[in-house]
Structure 1
């Protein structure tokens, strides 16, 4: 469905405020008139501050002397350096300017002229004053320096001298003459003769300072290098001692590159391997022996596992006795006394063999246990040594760090020793690098202040500052306050301004106050929507905004109630499945919601609720854990809207905001018209432009834009001539 309003290009949100070639003079005058108190306050403040400041000022005189910088080196053996003319060097001149303004030169001047006893430079010698000037001077003194009565005599003297020098430094001016090596020196004073005297003294002390600084520089460098060498020598010795001490305390004394703990660990590992081999051998014997004994093959165990001379002899006797018994059994029979004696001797011999086998088997078990205990002891000792080795490895890291530090100190010491020798050999005859070419004379007119000119200039400056501040504050306001601004920036018709309601609950305000400005604005919004298309009134209207909290849900609910109270069949569908608001505004807890209908869980009539106060039907929603875009951008949603078209005269969709989520673009395409809400004096213009661009990219049919939560009293004070201004001015027509 095409829009009745022509689509204008979206204006640049910042260009509307900052385009200097399309300045509306009347608008600028209105801005200055609205902020006239700010302009006059700034101008008045500047005027009063300037007047008070000028009244407190004392006339100041300035002497003027000229000093020329001469950077030529005078050496008797080099004639070229004597006659060569130095070239102007800006960096050299600027450096000498800072020397002239230094505290060192100022201290020499103060000492030569005894400025510490001059009341102009020593405030403690001035007579007591009364009035505003005295109060301001006391305040400045209290803020800038500690109270001398809190200091000792020596500290108070030093503080006094430092204050005199600081005052003198603040009155010194040194300006280089362009394209030359000349510096104009000036010192300000309340007395004209003293100004000339101070200027000449400053120039003289600067020349003397040039000469003294060269001698002091060489001496200071030699002293400093000597002290630094002593410190570095001690640092080298200390770092080397630290290496030796740490090596001894950490047990890192190596023998041919190998630490003792490493040797012990290697030996213990060798012993452990041997012990484990012996333990495996004994373990195999014990297992074989126990197997044979359990299988009643003890004799075989003795033959296979045990090598004992005694058992071998007993075994030979057993063999001989068994042979004799075999002969007697064939000769005498089993009951013969010799046969019985032979059998008894055989049993006794076998008993001895079994006893001996048991002793030897127990010996094998004992040896096996001893070997296992030795293996366990070796493992414990190896673990201890491994912990010691790890600790020593960490200690070696720190040791190497100490060694590197000692090496660095040694290299630094050697470098400084070489530099000290070079500095001691480079002393030469010094001379000053500056001379006075013009001395100061007594000035006859004050250099400062020029009261009339300053007062006039500062008054004009105050007016300009106030004007600029007012315009800047207005230009920095990047929100919407009028329907004209909204139309200029968005290119859409402004179809409504909804007043701000400060009474709670807001959702019931329309029902309780049907003749209020709030209700009248909603009826006007509905009329604008009805005429937004010349062919037919929209049946499905989507309401959205740039961000949450701009009043779109309250607008959707209030508009739906307004149309329902006019006698139409209206349904409000809460399509914000991320942050549903309609149920909260109505203070209801629905059993079934929009997602149940779209998911096929319930029928449409089971989820629709009736608002008894306005006969409005509501299809609520609940917050979903997953993204609802696929559910809203489906054929099921289109079929649902088609069904609602057949039942109701108007379907209002409370959509999510455009910028955070993408659902509003999908729902806008399904609706006949879309209304865009903008929060009055809050929503940034760039956000509105970006949101509308997203909607237009998907061919959403926009009915227009509207301002929500308009503060009528504030709006009326701005002097705009739109409908919001008359809402506030003619509020007697409404029952608020």
Structure 2
């Protein structure tokens, strides 16, 4: 037996493969057909609510204003903004949209337009839902005896204001669209424009406050930088004084002295070299007794030149005289003496010049040494100055930095002061809101479409919930799939003469008195197959007979028990009509009421019977005296014979006497139909498995829970193994058509009308 937790999937034999897309579509279609009234009812209710809203909701008007954030900066002064230029990108535009939606802008408009005094914003709001909420709120406030405060009015107006406002960016542009929806068209336009004005004023105020705060901060920073710059400059001056650092024209004096002394040293070295060259030259000249002409000319000494001329003249004359008169001639000797005197004079003059050159050389050397010493002193001082300049440059750099920062902040402060007087904003209104000519909502087509769609969705949801929570059996395919047994028939409700539905209790019939062996079963639900042989109910009972006969070809199937899960499912009606149908066909049939605890069949067919099954089993009465015979069908009925409750009915049904009686009945009758008690409340049926060939299990259509059936049959496994099939009883033919089309009333009227079935039902 299949567990009830297994999912139920509707199927039709010969249909598409299980789990295929087509099967899924068909299953959804069948579910929609089954739950169509629920879907239609929910949809209709929601549509009616939508129509009610259209009839009661006031007209609203929407005014639209457009604003742009201009990327071209309007600079009143050719200077950079003290707050810096803001790049207008997508994020900036979205930020401005959120600012337009901010509570600050909304409260500003509410105060400016005095909306807290407008009933549309502090009252019911004009629509039915708002009216109901307003009445409820007023009632609650009335109970609390405290009037709404100004804060509560403001918050209520703010909520209504934000509900009617819409702000969005148009595409990827810098344009923003501001819409406002109100009951009055002029009010809608005024509020839309007021939102833009409040935004512009808020931006101007924000920039003014930011600039003012920046000015105050800059002013404090300027004072601090001025003090720092002065301190840094004073530190430079003090350091120069401490380290004797003096500069003229951007150069240190020590550097100038070093350059001058270096130049002097170069000149002194040149003078020394020149003096030494002259001294060396004069020394070379002194090696010759008489200098030649080139030397005399080089010395540029007039005395030497004159003496050289005399010496040359005397030498020429001495050569002449010596050649003419001989070398020992007195004149030649006198000339040579004069030449010697001239040579001595020249030598004396050269020595005098040498002494002068020596003196110049000594002076040049002394001067060079003095300049060297001065240069060494200047270099030493300059090295000390250079070492001190390392820290001096750091101090000068700090002083210059502080001075630059001070000048920059001072300039920014002046700009901030100017911008504080002339604030600007990038936003401007490009299309002011005008009075709308047509209402924006409610829109009938939109409301109806939404109502229809919402109703359909809710209807489908309710249908799905009903479908998932429908833990009952309604179709033959469910029985075959869940219970794993055949569905023998689907029996419709039986209607009494007055048209009421019989719920399993048969109407009382005429029967014989005590000891009477024959009775006539009157027209009732227990003999419907005899009274209405061509009805749909009778045809379904015939299907049970056919199933029993077919099963009888495989095994003995003479004793057939009829039971159900709980009382009231119509098992007694099924058992009575099943037995009457077979008997009406001419077979020998015995109908036994074995429901010893609740013998409803005995009360209906033989209310005055004095003997019954209990008496026959106990041997107190014969079968013939206990039977009640139907005069129309010759159906033999054996009542229970119980007038008081028996505590151990299961023991009676499982007794050897009961088995012996049934065995005897088998030889005397073609069919034995036994009406047993239900399975769930009592255990009697479980004790009869040794008596019965097969069971017909009756389930009330759309009422008996599947889990209860599963639990009952699981506990009575022997009964389940002998079940011939299940009968769905008390089915509503009109509703059944939504679950199984071939079981519907329209299907029977169409296809079986020619046989008189539909007409006989009417």
TM superposition score normalised by structure 1? 0.49
| Larger radius of gyration between Structure 1 and Structure 2 | 2
- Which fold has the larger relative contact order, with Cα–Cα distance below 8 Å and residues 6 or more apart in sequence? 1
TM superposition score normalised by structure 2? 0.47
